[in-house]
Amino acid sequence: MSAGVVPTKEGNRHPSIAPYETFPTADGDIALACGNEKQFLALCTALALPELVDDPRFVTNPYRVENAEELRALLAAAFATNGAAHWHDVLTAVGVPCGPINDVAAAFAFAQSLGLDAVVQVPRPGGGTLAQVADPVTLSATPVEYRNAPPTFGQDTDDVIAWLRSDV
């Protein structure tokens, strides 16, 4: 908006960096953030597409943005030859930021593989616990406290209605 131009819908694509978007692979999607020439060279080499580096349509980021549809088609064909985990390993090894797009179960499994405690057991009033997503922020001086689980359905209805009717 500061340039007087209303942005258009881009989906997962960045409007001024290419390739910077999601791609389907053989078994799921991967997010790719290729933000400079060094990363683009590494990407093209890893995908066995070295000819793209010197292609006039893709030689600089502005040209890649201008020709994003053509670039996307070429990269998508390469990504389709293997799965997201394969491409994540290959591209991460050469310094290209990327990551598989996980469903919720895979996201929790990934957090676990990193040694993160993504789930916490929160005490329920009256006994027992309820599994909840842990706060992802860890602060040493003011750690998160999990005092109570959220109320069960309808548990606080009368209190909320009374509060709404009060002069608070």
Domains and CATH numbers, the chain: 20-101 (3.30.1540.10), 103-151 (no CATH)
Q: Average pLDDT, whole number, for the chain?
A: 92
**pLDDT tens digits for range 13-47:** 999 999 999 999 999 999 999 999 999 999 999 99
Q: Say how many CA atoms lie within 13 Å of 123 toward its Cβ.
A: 7
Catalytic residue among 9, 11, 13, 14: 14
pTM: 0.73
Residue 14 appears among annotated catalytic residues: yes
